[in-house]
Amino acid sequence: MGFTQRLESQPMSTKQMAAAAENEAVEDGLEILHSLSKERGWRTQHLYMYQNFWCQPQQIQAIVTLQDHFQARESDIILATIPKSGTTWLKALTFAITNRNQFEPSSKVHPLLTSNPHDLVPFLEYKLYADNQLPDLSHLPSPRTFATHIPYPSLPESIQFTPGCKIVYLCRNPLDTFVSSWHFISRNNVRAEKLTIEEAFDMFCEGVVGFGPFWEHMLGYWKTSLSRPEDVLFLKYEDMQDDIQYHTMKLAKFLGFPFSAEERKVGIVEGITNVCSFDNLKDLEVNKKGKSIADFENKTLFRKGKVGDWVNHLSPTMAEKMFWVMENKLGGSGLKFKV
């Protein structure tokens, strides 16, 4: 009997639910969990250290299958992010850019008006390869666009080494990333034991968070973008907030869909940034209901989207600790953030 069936047949406490999910992951072939280091998780009972990053047990199963079976095309687009660093925004922008010949941004039937960006650009590990699925992606038209939170070294080799396959990485300053993650997990938490913000902050600074440590995640894509700029585009949330039209044009050019002078003249760039804006997406009815990622409510995907909101949530001591971690882990790499 599957996990969902067991939930329907017998009520469980939230603590039992988390434990049952882990047990089923082992039963379904992830005996590897027994050999992995584990720590208390934010949302699930435990996180496991897999290929040098922390991961939930059910995602490990999906990642193993993905690594074994995914075959990239030269025209594929992979959107990579740390959770809560602008993923939804990047998906919306990429979809609007690559499909603008079919759907003008001002169109009243634009898919972004009736579909959540996570439905239009699916996650590899949360959607396509989740729950032991082995999807047939061969029929999808080019450019196929997928998303992932997986660190660069653990991407399928075909993504890393297929010429022409484009990777776009978006990250956000760690202070705002933590605050956004904290609110998101708090609103979606099924754990029996609720973490305090101080407990979660310490875990984040120690790197014990899904797909973390955050510095290793960032540096993997950052260093690759420096050595292979034609394959990996590295973007920062704060820079995009400062000048979204410039970065939208930069993104389009990197993906092989540059805007023509005529398109810029008639306002296509501005139209795309408007339809993909945080306020527009947040106000759409489709993003106020339903679930597009696992059991996360769509309405919890949008909170503030502001740069610097961390000052309203972190104490001076917490901020000082995070600045120390950033300098200690990222110093010397050339990767810096506006906070």
Report the catalytic residues. 149
- For β-strands 38-40 and 145-148, DSSP reports them as unpaired
- Residue of 89, 95, 65, 104 whose CA lies nearest to 77: 95
Tokens of residue 232, six digits? 């990996």
Longest dimension (CA), the chain: 62
As a whole number of angstroms, the distance between CA 284 and CA 116 comes to 9
